[in-house]
Amino acid sequence: MTIRTIPTLDISRFNSDKANFVAELGKGYREFGFCGIVGHGIDTELVAKAYDAIRTFFALPTDVKQQYSAANIGGARGYTGMGVEKAKDNPHPDLKEFWHVGRELAPEQLVEGLFPNVWPTEVPQFKADVYPLYQALDDLGRQVLSALALFLGQDEHYFDDKIDHGNSILRPLHYPPILQGETPAVRAGAHEDINFITLLVGSEEAGLEVLTRDGEYIPVTTIPGTIVVNIGDMLQRLTNNVLPSTTHRVVNPPGDGAKHSRFSVPFFLHPNPEFMIETLATCVTEDNPNRYPESISSNDYLTERLIEIGLIK
């Protein structure tokens, strides 16, 4: 039996070997909804610095971290503690705490659904060390979407003006040691992401599993430096399920492994809040008729889902 795993592709081939790269990337997403991306040029030093700042923040006492909780805006910026977010339709909250960094915008650009960032003063270098990772992943996400635009029969730059002020979120995550023994709760319950695409830094730490088309979970194991990129619900909807949003989860490690923290940093790339998600004509065929005749704005879609996962009451 062969152990199946998600494909990993070198994105520098988007310049040197475009047609084949686009075809292979599209095939990977059609089959798994997930691909590993290497050759992206994101500096390991930049990632290491962001991780240092993130670890320093999560090591602070809970009451200090809690000062940065903004439950009134669904934790859209700043800190969200343990016991808040749960996977849709799951009664047990996930075993995780996280911080949300949004796009840095001028006050007049803060349209509906967008909020100013907050930064933890206890970690003075947090913004300088973490925001560059936001920018690097935003840029890499744009490149992945350019390749996907070609795969979908659109112009290479189709997505550019639909994501330039997207409500994209960088989410440093901390899964604390699990000390209570047997628990029905998991680090992250089975879910699909809401946004266009997610770019995940930190997948070399075990725990992430992806549901295959055969209904089996397979671990995502990558070599250091790989950025795992998956399709979210908004892109699935835009593409009439041609690109599938795939269920995934983070399992509790067996044995003593559970006594260690796990860190990861997903970047949820969102379309602009006013973008209308309306099925792409190039994704409708006789065999795949339009599954979503009604369009919805990306901000309304997001709000619906944040209520379902417990972040907005």
Ligand X SMILES: O=C(O)CCC(=O)C(=O)O
- Contact positions vs ligand X (CB under 6 A): 171, 173, 188, 193, 200, 208, 248, 250, 264, 266
Handedness of CA 75, 79, 81, 86 (dihedral sign): positive
Measured from each CB, the residue nearest to Fe ion is 193
Per partner kind, with CB cut-offs from 5 to 8 A, the member of Fe ion, ligand X, none near residue 133 is none
- Which H helix or E strand runs over 175? strand 173-175
Per partner kind, with CB cut-offs from 5 to 8 A, the member of ligand X, Fe ion, none near residue 264 is ligand X
| Interacting positions 134-193 with Fe ion (CB under 5 A) | 193
- Tokens 């699935």 found at: 236
Task: Please give the structure tokens belonging to residue 175.
Answer: 């899964």
Shortest distance, position 176 Cβ to ligand X, whole Å: 13
Integer CA distances (angstroms), 48 to 51, 133, 146, 191, 267, in order: 5, 10, 27, 28, 16
Among candidate residues 201, 233, 250, the one with its CA nearest the CA of residue 48: 201
Taking the chain, what is the end-to-end CA distance rounded to the nearest angstrom? 47
Measured from each CB, the residue nearest to ligand X is 264
Task: Please give the structure tokens belonging to residue 52.
Answer: 């240092």
Considering the complex, state which of residue 163 and residue 200 has its C-beta at the smaller distance from ligand X.
Answer: 200
Say whether residue 209 binds Fe ion (CB under 5 A): no
Shortest distance, position 122 Cβ to Fe ion, whole Å: 28
Per partner kind, with CB cut-offs from 5 to 8 A, the member of ligand X, Fe ion, none near residue 208 is ligand X
Considering the complex, state which of residue 228 and residue 277 has its C-beta at the smaller distance from ligand X.
Answer: 228
Considering the complex, state which of residue 171 and residue 305 has its C-beta at the smaller distance from ligand X.
Answer: 171
Considering the complex, state which of residue 197 and residue 250 has its C-beta at the smaller distance from ligand X.
Answer: 250
Considering the complex, state which of residue 193 and residue 233 has its C-beta at the smaller distance from Fe ion.
Answer: 193
Integer CA distances (angstroms), 186 to 189, 203, 205, in order: 6, 17, 16
Shortest distance, position 191 Cβ to Fe ion, whole Å: 6
Shortest distance, position 262 Cβ to ligand X, whole Å: 7
In sequence order, what are the residues at sequence separation of 6 or more whose Cβ sits closer than 8 angstroms to the Cβ of residue 27?
7
